[in-house]
């Protein structure tokens, strides 16, 4: 066998060896059929938050009113939602008075009528069945990107690696304050039609529509001696 033929056979054997290695590792990469926004998309989870109040025939105690105020502050920080007041249907004296005053306390704390409701539950006839105030705290579940990083040096195709898109979506999920924003925009407050018509009338008359100058908003540098 000549040197030229031997060199040709060696190249063929090397090519077949590389092809075999590629075929062996071909199933180690995932399919890239899903888009980047769909891979590791942030998922919302809900966790019930509950405040238990002992029923009193005289209504809420001072400590219970303070607890409701703190609970509403937590509810507001957690993104709001529907607040439910649950009272035992039978067997608990003072359940009606406590639940009714709880609704009043929630309203005084700033909740709108559509943000709260009163329902009954089976307290099993217990005379001390508590009045329960609850809401669902929404959080964002993030993927563990570090656990998905494999050997990026072994790939037999042009498919994306397992962790592709994970860090991007995890960073976005970490910045979300209210997880409900991931699934739709918030409702806007109604427009001030009266103010709009007033400004439009000034504009049609050629009058000044800007606010009056406030001396306290002046940009002049203070000449006071430090």
**Spatial separation of the C-alpha atoms in residues 133 and 118, rounded to whole Å:** 9
Which of these, 101, 26, 13, 92, lies nearest to 55 by C-alpha position?
A: 92
CATH of the domain at 68: 3.30.1330.60
Is the model more confident about 126 or about 211?
A: 126
Residue 183, domain member (yes or no) = no
In terms of C-beta distances under 8 Å and separation of at least 24 residues, what long-range contacts does 26-35 make, across chains too?
26/156, 26/157, 28/150, 28/154, 28/155, 28/156, 29/155, 29/156, 29/157, 29/159, 29/160, 29/161, 29/162, 30/159, 30/160, 30/161, 30/162, 31/159, 32/159, 32/160, 32/164
Residue 181, domain member (yes or no) = no
Residue 135, domain member (yes or no) = yes
Domain count, the chain: 1
**Spatial separation of the C-alpha atoms in residues 109 and 94, rounded to whole Å:** 22
Mean pLDDT (the chain) is 80
Residue 147, domain member (yes or no) = no
> pTM above 0.85?
no
pLDDT-derived band at 83 (thresholds 50, 70, 90) equals very high
Residue 19, domain member (yes or no) = no
pLDDT-derived band at 25 (thresholds 50, 70, 90) equals very low
Residue 116's pLDDT is what? 94
Residue 39's pLDDT is what? 77
Per DSSP, 107 falls in state H
Rg of the Cα atoms in the chain: 33
Is the model more confident about 6 or about 145?
A: 145
Quick check: 84 pLDDT over 70? yes
Residue 29, domain member (yes or no) = no
- Express each pLDDT in 45-75 by its tens digit: 889 999 999 999 999 999 999 999 999 999 9
Average pLDDT over residues 171-185: 81
pLDDT-derived band at 133 (thresholds 50, 70, 90) equals very high
Residue 128, domain member (yes or no) = yes
Domain residue limits at 90: 43-141
Which of these, 77, 47, 42, lies nearest to 175 by C-alpha position?
A: 42
Residue 30's pLDDT is what? 45
φ, ψ of residue 141 to 5 degrees: the values are -90, 125
**Spatial separation of the C-alpha atoms in residues 53 and 106, rounded to whole Å:** 14
Which of these, 50, 68, 43, 52, lies nearest to 138 by C-alpha position?
A: 43
Residue 185, domain member (yes or no) = no
Residue 157's pLDDT is what? 73
């Amino acid at each position: 066998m000549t040197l030229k033929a031997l060199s040709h056979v060696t190249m063929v054997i090397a090519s077949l060896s590389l092809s075999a290695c590629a075929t062996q590792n071909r199933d180690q990469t995932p399919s890239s059929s899903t888009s980047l926004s769909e891979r590791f998309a942030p998922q919302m989870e809900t966790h019930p938050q509950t405040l238990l109040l002992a029923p009193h025939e005289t209504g809420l105690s001072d400590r219970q009113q303070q607890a409701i105020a703190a609970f509403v502050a937590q509810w507001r920080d957690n993104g709001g939602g529907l607040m439910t007041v649950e009272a035992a249907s039978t067997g608990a004296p003072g359940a009606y008075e406590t639940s009714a005053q709880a609704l009043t306390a929630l309203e005084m704390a700033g909740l709108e009528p559509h943000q709260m409701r009163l329902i009954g539950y089976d307290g099993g006839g217990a005379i001390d069945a508590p009045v329960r105030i609850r809401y669902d705290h929404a959080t964002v579940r993030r993927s563990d990107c570090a656990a998905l990083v494999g050997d990026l040096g072994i790939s037999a195709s042009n498919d994306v690696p397992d962790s592709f898109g994970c860090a991007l979506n995890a960073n976005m999920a970490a910045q979300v304050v209210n997880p409900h924003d991931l699934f739709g925009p918030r409702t806007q407050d109604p427009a001030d039609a009266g103010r709009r018509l007033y400004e439009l009338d000034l504009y049609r008359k050629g009058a000044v529509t800007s606010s009056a100058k406030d001396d306290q908003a002046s940009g002049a540098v203070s000449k006071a001696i430090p």
